[in-house]
Amino acid sequence: MEPVLTVEAHPGALGAEMSLAGKRALVTGAASGIGRAVAQHLSRLGAQVAFSDIDPKPLYELTKGLSGASTVVADLAVAAQVVHLAQVAGPVDILVNNAGLQRKVGPAAGGDADRSVPADQVPDPRDV
């Protein structure tokens, strides 16, 4: 079967290098794992990337020497800090809303359930 999509036929697709110069990106959960890899890749492609996480130390280490990179420390389980993040990061072209917990939460797992934000307290981005 003939391949439907090839990198040669579509420069910029499937991992071929492309330029994100002039684009602004915000990556949450950027201090480790998937978020860190995505934020670093966007930065290497030339985007101005805001690295955001609840954990400040790795953020500063990660963005040292990265051109156009900035850091915003925010706990996304706290509505006021979500608003702060949106204000500081400003309008972005690319949003990677990746922050999260992989482990189980709730009383059976030791009680992190109170870190969730009630639906009626999640700010509407249009109000920021």
Ligand X SMILES: NC(=O)c1ccc[n+]([C@@H]2O[C@H](COP(=O)([O-])OP(=O)(O)OC[C@H]3O[C@@H](n4cnc5c(N)ncnc54)[C@H](O)[C@@H]3O)[C@@H](O)[C@H]2O)c1
Q: What is the C-alpha separation between 120 and 29, in angstroms, rounded?
A: 23
Binding mask 11-40 for ligand X (x = CB under 6 A): -----------------xx-xxxxx-----
**Min separation Cβ 35 and ligand X, Å:** 5
Q: Return the ∠ at Cα 84 (arms to 78 and 85), rounded to 5°.
A: 90
Are 42 and 17 a contacting pair, CB within 8 Å?
Answer: no
**Min separation Cβ 91 and ligand X, Å:** 20
Nearer to ligand X, 11 or 33 (CB): 33
Nearer to ligand X, 46 or 84 (CB): 84
Interactions with ligand X, residue window 34-93 (CB under 6 A): 34-35, 53-55, 75-77
**Min separation Cβ 12 and ligand X, Å:** 25
Strand partners, 50: 26, 70
**Min separation Cβ 21 and ligand X, Å:** 26
Q: C-alpha distances in angstroms, 128 versus 30, 61, 85?
A: 22, 29, 10
- Name the maximum alpha-carbon separation found in the chain: 53
99 is a contact residue toward ligand X (CB under 6 A) = yes
SS3 50: strand
Residues that bind ligand X (CB under 6 A): 28-29, 31-35, 53-55, 75-77, 98-102
